Amino acid sequence: MTAITHHTPDALLAAYAAGSLPQAYALVVAAHISLCLDCRAGYEAHLSGGGAVLETVKPEAISEGLKSNVLDLLDAPVAPEPIYRRTGVYPGPVIAALKGNPPKWKSLGLGVRQSILSADQNGSARLLYIPPGQTVPDHSHNGLELTLVLQGSFSDTTGRFGIGDLEIGDQDLEHAPAADPGAPCICLAATDAPLRFSSLVPRLLQPLFRI
């Protein structure tokens, strides 16, 4: 794997460590830090800082009923969560989102495919498969888009993004990412609002493709 040059911003690492990121964004950040040693170190630093802050917080008294309820919950049997590890190009967090199954690809046309991993009122996460040389229709953003490269690479007006690189797309970015020659580009993308496509046909198909 080539060196990762596009990292998760510190503010997103802090929000992920605090557990305040929407699920779709949290999935992308989790996948990125599973690939990037630098961002994993930053994430662990935020965890350590949060633990240090908790140690300085003044204890609060709780009722006996609440204490008893909490202890009962701790004693209740809980089925262990399955542990998912990297499979092929997919990091462990992505495999967990897929529940250990292969992606269910659906065609978007021109060889481009997607597999939606999650979607709710807070945003969506999906895998995208883009053949080499294929360009995604020109678009901008109504919100924030995180795109993590898992295989191959793509390029746009901001530069080239290879395996492990994370692109941050906001309302100021308009681009038409193109998969580079070589292996097909597979990305994990999360958004919190529909994209803004420049041309008519993608706008007409947008509700069908849920992008």
Which residues are 191's β-sheet partners? Answer: 124, 145
Nearest Cα neighbor of 164 from 51, 45, 19, 1 is: 1
pLDDT digits (tens, 9 = 90+) for 150-196: 999 999 999 999 999 999 999 999 999 999 999 999 999 999 999 88
Do the Cβ atoms of 148 and 94 come closer than 8 Å? Answer: no
Enclosing H/E stretch for 98? none
Predicted model pTM: 0.85
**Which pLDDT score, from 0 to 100, does residue 49 have?**
76
Q: 37 Cβ partners below 8 Å, 6+ apart?
A: none
Pick the CATH number of 1-211 from 3.40.30.10, 2.60.120.10, 3.40.1160.10, 3.40.50.1440: 2.60.120.10
What count of other Cβ atoms lies within 10 Å of the Cβ of residue 122? Answer: 12
pLDDT digits (tens, 9 = 90+) for 20-79: 999 999 999 999 999 999 999 999 999 997 555 455 556 666 676 776 777 776 677 676
What are the sequence ranges of the domains in the chain?
A: 1-211
pLDDT digits (tens, 9 = 90+) for 189-207: 999 999 889 888 888 887 8
Phi then psi dihedrals of residue 114, to 5 deg: -140, 155
